[in-house]
Amino acid sequence: MRYFLELSYIGTSYSGFQVQENANTVQAEMEKAIAVLLKEKVALTGSSRTDAGVHAWQNYFHFDTAVPIENKGLKDKQQFVYKLNAILPPAIAVRSLQLVNDKAHSRFDAIYREYNYYLSTIKNPFIQDRAYYFPYKVDMELMQSAAGILKEYTDFTSFSKRNTQAKTFICHLAISEWEKRGSVLVYKVRGDRFLRGMVRALTSTMLNVGRKKTNLEEFRKIIEARDCSKASFAVPAHGLFLMKVEYPAGLQPSVG
């Protein structure tokens, strides 16, 4: 039996999403909690890997069990979610559980992923761990133009960290835009896939455009150089959220 598990988390205290040796990760916490609840070890497969300190409004794992969870002394999927949340630490919350076909894959079946990067233009202690404090004046029109330029390209080698296992640097962006929400600036990007460090690199490099350290022609040259030493990776992890992972109709769980 294969299940999709939808979850949210604040990544501040974790060394990323995927399990690592001698590191506290979201996957490690989830596997430990499920083992307690189901009294068996399960191997989780994640839909999207997030780096250390990155948050997720919505992410997914899939896992397999030999028998339905109802045969594990649980009344239904809602009780599984309730009990699992009681075991998990406060920074991780399970949102839903869905039985899927045995070939469904949380990573490879995803159609789109959407990220937001948040910047606070004022010092705000209530969002200090969820938005990058950036008190500098920026030209939003220039940054919006830069965001639009990104959709003209598919090779994002310049915005990928060097130590990556990616076999291709091709990504297709459906949305790339900036929004101003009061004192918070948000970069919103949606694509079929993302490279390691890509969203933070896009954000940081566009901030240089907004501060007029880089013009739009130079921004294009950075993209076309296919050289990560040309881009900026300066913004921290805590402003980044994985907002949504989208699946084909019939597989996408409903969000309560």
Would you name the residues annotated as active-site residues? 51
Q: How far is CA 172 from CA 49, 155, 207, in A?
A: 18, 9, 22
Q: What is the distance between the alpha carbons of residues 102 and 113, in angstroms, rounded to a whole number?
A: 22
Please state, in angstroms and rounded to a whole number, the distance separating the CA atoms of residues 24 and 17: 9
Q: Name the phi and psi angles at 128, rounded to 5.
A: -65, -25
Residues 6+ apart with CB under 8 A from 82: none
Question: What is the Rg, in whole angstroms, of the alpha carbon atoms belonging to the chain?
Answer: 19
Hey, which residues does 181 pair with through a beta bridge?
184
Structure tokens at 30: 């989830």
